[in-house]
A and B are shown apart, each in its own frame.
Chain A
């Protein structure tokens, strides 16, 4: 090659560093370089000072679960240099997914299968997830997640969290988001995350196109909107019925939720139960918006129609 391009020794490995890292890692001192889930606390205060805001994804610590969302690549490089050359850059693009960096403990996992002599697998730690890694299509991921749920129900001793992407739409928003339900542990986490994600759309109605103003507005405005009367969070379950989020225990919810919709409250009257009264059925309605006063879920209406 005649073109000279200065070889930048980026954060990770040049030839020289590799040898050094190899030896270090063999000493298996992972704690120092390990990036863990959790509040940044005193360990890396720099993380909190990222200034570039993501549209709709505020730098935040999510509810009480201790998961957090990075904003932007710029802040990331700074952090890693300060962490003394940790190898794991992992993708931290939080779109609709909460991302964390993968653990530093690569070499610990070398070639080992943790199957004990009695054939039982030890309870494995769940890997922190990087968006889009490993490269498996959502269709497959969701299918396998459903299979695993079924296996767990059948007392099959297979562990594993998989992930479960569902689409979330909001009335009036130009496009929807996908979230992985498996990363949340309770309704509070989920609703906080969604509030962050969709705050831009609501606030944007009051600002100019593409550049929502932020003075005087905060996430609490959206929380007021959500908790107040304007919007409710609903989901479509396996049977095709639209339900209010929060009606069933969390585990049952993630096992049956196919997608979610942030609906205007005025459209959501009567959700939460499927009403099966036969009179006054409006057969002309085929879309999801529940219009008839008796608010039958679409699937139930379909069943009625089939019967005729």
Chain B
């Protein structure tokens, strides 16, 4: 599945591979700390935020905030 920003699709796929593995093998098995995908997510997000601005997608005022701000202190 593509990203909303065409340039972001590869970054998204890389992040998704990391996330899907962590989600099934760690998070669902009770080990939700230490998310290894933070850097991949940051890179992917920078691209997506740019695409949202360029396409003028109306997300202002919605509950999306930054990325990872609510994460516990000990996550990687």
Check if A and B associate.
no
